[in-house]
Chains A and B, each alone.
Chain A
């Protein structure tokens, strides 16, 4: 262990002396065929990471959303069309990351929180800038993190150390911010939206007591980043494309899915934060109230039972065709002895729920026992 620490320190010290001179960025897809030998190895590693993610079912299957994200990327960087591939990653963490081979992963958690296409474009432009500016290769040349990650034993550790999975150094993050911002403006997006995605997520991280997610990791600090984006956008008087309608029509069902996954993974505070904040909630479908009810019901702290019932009732009112609400209300009234109400809700469940709904057999059993 002691030796390993010495080794780490040595790598870090040596890493500080290395230079990234001579590493030139890509200017178009043609450049990507002309790689340094070490860079080729890095690409192979990234290809392996892509394959693992794909075969282990970690990609989020939504063709429409994937095509939409890719179209935004192609609008931002038309000269890299066919080389930068945007993929949706099935994780509710607020994150996005780029690999050295041009794969950009966008988590569904982050998609759900973003409000419009301009904010999406701000994140994509930033991540693509990491690829185009060869930040992974530059980071490997510097070798700053490679030694420490190599010792950690995690899969694709070396790749993680030199991709935006774990965040780049402060100056590389700044460069991606600056170059991404220029591209955002050039592509006609509203630059005043750029800082909002950072601000919005900084607020959420603070409210949930989370560490800053990797995408917003501490290089540079999030507050500094927000200020910089505000400063840059203040120079632009004109508006630009915001794309709220198109974004929300694609992402709306994903938002419900994220709420469902948050509940399934015991992250009640995240659901409560979103659905109790009128500003955040406005982008969510009304069935989101059902998940608010689930969050309170499963958290089960003092007063949560009443809050859950109120949320379920709100879901019933605003989203009358959403069947899971009727199951929960039926169960509530069955357990509290209101048999008539329970029967009524269970019957409504059976009339609204799809024929292959998982819980039909339970509901029939409960109805026969009432």
Chain B
């Protein structure tokens, strides 16, 4: 009850001052999706959020924790079906459920292994299979390319391709998730183009933000 009241109060207080994110269609005049730390070019016909997500809530051990991040999502047919998500995790919380930091000197294969372990801790991904894991370059940085697959409760095979790299500013991933049947192949080329367009921005080198006080009300 206390949490619900706090949520209402916060919603009322913040609605007047915060920029409200919304989904927008991508066309020739509206291609670049930009966050503080990165930008990428979104293929025509996809929709994207206008503002990045800046936090997520996760169960770490038995406790609910709020983790700061930067994350932008694009989709063509709806996020429940398929999505490309670009995420920057700050070094201290790079692998939150594993309670591991990212280190600038981390080898790409180490980052890939930790990332898979991190995903397997998430609900529904316990049996995530790694189909391939190889080196890749993202924005001229040494990284990894993972191809993974899982089945949801309805038996639908969902394939995930992830590019990622680690540097002194944190851990970055570009994820493409789609049902293997039809959708995965259909949009794979769009995903590849988005990965090639990814650029890290100067803002990535600014100090990470502090967790807002209101977070304590919910965790």
Contact = CB atoms under 8 A, between A and B. Distances in A.
B151 interface: yes
Interface centre among A57, A335, A365, by most chain B C-beta atoms within 10 angstroms, is A57
Contacts, number: 53
Interface string B114-145: 10110011000011001011110000000000
Given A57-B150, A264-B116, A90 B108 contact: no
A43 to B, nearest CB: 21
A55 B154 CA distance: 7
A365 B135 contact: yes
Q: How many B residues are at the interface, by size bracket?
A: 20 to 34
B109 interface: yes
Interface in A247-263: 263
B181 interface: no
Say whether chain B's binding surface is mostly helix, strand, loop, or mixed. Answer: mixed
B107 interface: yes
Given A55-B151, A358-B130, A265 B109 contact: no
A56 interface: yes
A152 to B, nearest CB: 16
A51 to B, nearest CB: 9
A331 B109 contact: yes
A306 interface: no
Contacts of B117: 263-266, 298
Given A57-B127, A265-B120, A266-B98, A362 B109 contact: yes
B155 A331 contact: no
A363 B117 CA distance: 21
A270 to B, nearest CB: 14
A24 interface: no
B155 A56 contact: yes
A328 to B, nearest CB: 10
A265 B152 CA distance: 18
A336 B198 CA distance: 33
Interface centre among A91, A263, A298, by most chain B C-beta atoms within 10 angstroms, is A298
Interface string A256-283: 0000000111100000000000000000
Contact of A55 (B121, B135, B150, B155): B155
A340 interface: no
A231 to B, nearest CB: 38
Contacts of B97: 266
B108 A362 contact: yes
Given A265-B117, A265-B126, A361-B135, A56 B153 contact: yes
Contacts of A155: 153
B134 A362 contact: yes
A28 B153 CA distance: 34
A351 to B, nearest CB: 19
Contacts of B152: 56
Contact of B109 (A52, A300, A359): A359
Nearest to A361: B134
B186 to A, nearest CB: 23
Given A55-B154, A266-B98, A331-B109, A362 B135 contact: yes
A345 to B, nearest CB: 14
Contacts of B109: 331, 359, 362
Counting from the closest, the 3 A-B pairs by CB-CB distance are A55-B155, A57-B151, A361-B134
6 contacts: A55-B154, A55-B155, A57-B150, A264-B117, A331-B109, A362-B109
